[in-house]
Amino acid sequence: MRGKDLTGKTYGFITVIRDSLQRATNRQKIWECSCKGTPKNPHQEKLVYIRTDNLERGLTKSCGCYKKELHTKHGHGVPGKNSLEYGSWKSMRGRCNNPNFSHHKYWADVDIYPEWDHAEGFPAFLEYVMEHLGPRPKGKTIDRIDRTKPYEPGNIRWANPAEQARNRSTTKLTEIKVQAIKNRLQDDATVHSRKHISRVYGVHFNTINDIFFGRTWKDVG
Ligand SMILES: [Zn+2]
């Protein structure tokens, strides 16, 4: 037999039974494995076929039941689920990804670091936060240091509302953003609307007025 023999080895909740004799397109061996569930949720034996590299890199730890357990147990399997940091992670993702979030389209250009931005991204987010920012202080929320950049390592901090407002006021405007603001102003330029625009674009109210009254960015639009 060429290559490593993984027979009998265990990876997470999986035990390798035998070489299936099938090969993946990358010529890796495909192993017939058995999963009987997790200690919390055992199930009848299921056979799964997994590539050598996916086993060795720890990418596949179960037939899928373990991931499901993490998802559906509403946090009982996710450490830190009731923490303030979890709230931050959820609201960060909700803002950027939830089409039901009322200001979604204005957040469409805001990105999140891919490792944090999926259903199981919280542990990676938490690890980064604890190491670099420390626990979330009461009264502070997650904020981007540079608002033109995504939520990503090096660009997040805990900030209170005043700090966030200061940050907003220094947001760099781009032509594209100003164009979008002007379009919005054309639809509705009441004070209420201008305040709303200021909030969703993260631009100071005075700046919105400057744009509206043609004191700045005259060349755009
Ligand atoms: Zn399973």
How many CA atoms lie within 13 Å of 167's alpha carbon, on the beta-carbon side?
18
d(CA 89, CA 123): 10
Residue 87 or residue 166, greater confidence: 87
67-89: average pLDDT: 68
**28 CA to centre of ligand 1 in angstroms:** 23
**48 CA to centre of ligand 1 in angstroms:** 9
Mean pLDDT of the chain: 80
**122 CA to centre of ligand 1 in angstroms:** 22
99-127: average pLDDT: 67
| pLDDT greater than 90 at residue 16 | yes
**77 CA to centre of ligand 1 in angstroms:** 15
Residue 106 or residue 136, greater confidence: 136
**76 CA to centre of ligand 1 in angstroms:** 18
**151 CA to centre of ligand 1 in angstroms:** 34
**45 CA to centre of ligand 1 in angstroms:** 8
**198 CA to centre of ligand 1 in angstroms:** 50
> What pLDDT band is residue 9 in, cutting at 50, 70 and 90?
very high
Q: Note the pLDDT of residue 104.
A: 38
**125 CA to centre of ligand 1 in angstroms:** 26
152-161: average pLDDT: 88
**15 CA to centre of ligand 1 in angstroms:** 11
**113 CA to centre of ligand 1 in angstroms:** 29
Which of these ranges, 4-18, 35-49, 52-66, has the smallest mean pLDDT?
Answer: 52-66
**69 CA to centre of ligand 1 in angstroms:** 10
> What pLDDT band is residue 74 in, cutting at 50, 70 and 90?
very low
pTM: 0.41
Q: Note the pLDDT of residue 119.
A: 80
Q: Which residue has the tokens 């907003």?
A: 168
Asked whether the beta carbons of 85 and 136 are under 8 A apart, the reply is yes
d(CA 190, CA 204): 16
Which of these ranges, 7-11, 17-21, 100-104, 209-213, has the smallest mean pLDDT?
Answer: 100-104
Other Cβ atoms closer than 10 A to 158: 19
